[in-house]
Amino acid sequence: MFPLRAIINACVALRIHPNILTFVGVLINVAAAVALATNRFILAGVIMIVANIFDFIDGKVAVLLGAVSKFGGFWDSVNDRFSDIALFIGLIYLYSHLGRTDYVMVASLAMMFSIMTSYARARAESLIAKCKVGFMERPERIVLFMIGAFTNRMAAVLWVILVLSIFTVADRVIHTYRELRQDAREALA
Amino acid sequence: MKRSPATLPARILWNAFFWTYERASWQYDVMVIAILAFVWLVPPDWLKDPTAHGSGPVGWILDRLR
């Protein structure tokens, strides 16, 4: 895609380190969270698109600059969590400001289970080879956030994220249990 | 082994719950359609949406049918 290629080429020409691009993406997501907190959903959606451009290009720039590193992957994951939490906090602030404790709880639980999906996979993959099960991963979450922001259907989006994140965490726990049990059986045989 | 047709809904539910499909699969497309239908068709009033109001497309159709 031309605009993205132009941005990537500009970053490579300026030799901008991919880890800086990752961090800039988080800062832009914080701006999106502020827009969500102040009930400006369309603006938040636009800012989220810009933030995710940074999230998309950092890996490509790293490859082109020959700056791919294990730390870069780790930094990217940590910053992704900050971005996710920032967006949820924006919504929690908004619902709190509107006096809607019910949706403060929905958003808080959705945030908790969204973080747990990532944690469950990271911890599982320290024990087993792969734990890529469950529907609700970060790309799905981000696209849903944008749909909710652009079409003003954030409540429905939060319910979807909450329910499917609970399922995803459960999937990962069950999958890890099965894999470890299988390993234990093979070790005994 | 032949499976009983009665187990089909249970298997569909289990596969939807214990999700192992790739993004470029038809099952993923069906899930996306179901999610978008929920997000866009369920009236915001049913969910007591703090920022959106109205009955949405489903409410509009139900109003016309009354």
pLDDT at A73: 93
Cβ proximity of A168 and A136 under 8 Å: yes
Percentage above 70 pLDDT, chain A = 99
User: Among B38, B39, B46, which would you mutate to test the A interface (most chain A Cβ atoms within 10 Å of its Cβ)?
Assistant: B39
Q: Mean pLDDT, to the nearest integer, of B19-44? A: 94
B17 vs A: CB within 8 A: yes
Closest CA to B22 of A135, A145, A173: A135
- Chain A hits for B19, CB-CB cut-off 8 Å, are 133-135, 167-168, 171
Residue with structure tokens 């499917």?
A164
User: What percentage of chain B reaches a pLDDT higher than 90?
Assistant: 47
CB distance B55 to B63 below 8 Å: yes
Which segments of A126-169 are extended strands (E)?
Answer: none
ipTM score here? 0.89
pLDDT, tens only, A43-86: 999 999 999 999 889 999 999 999 999 999 999 999 999 999 99
pLDDT score for A1: 64
Assess contact for A139 and A88: CB atoms under 8 A. Answer: no
Average pLDDT per 10 consecutive residues for chain A, totaling 189 residues: 85 94 96 97 96 92 93 95 97 98 98 97 96 95 96 96 97 96 90
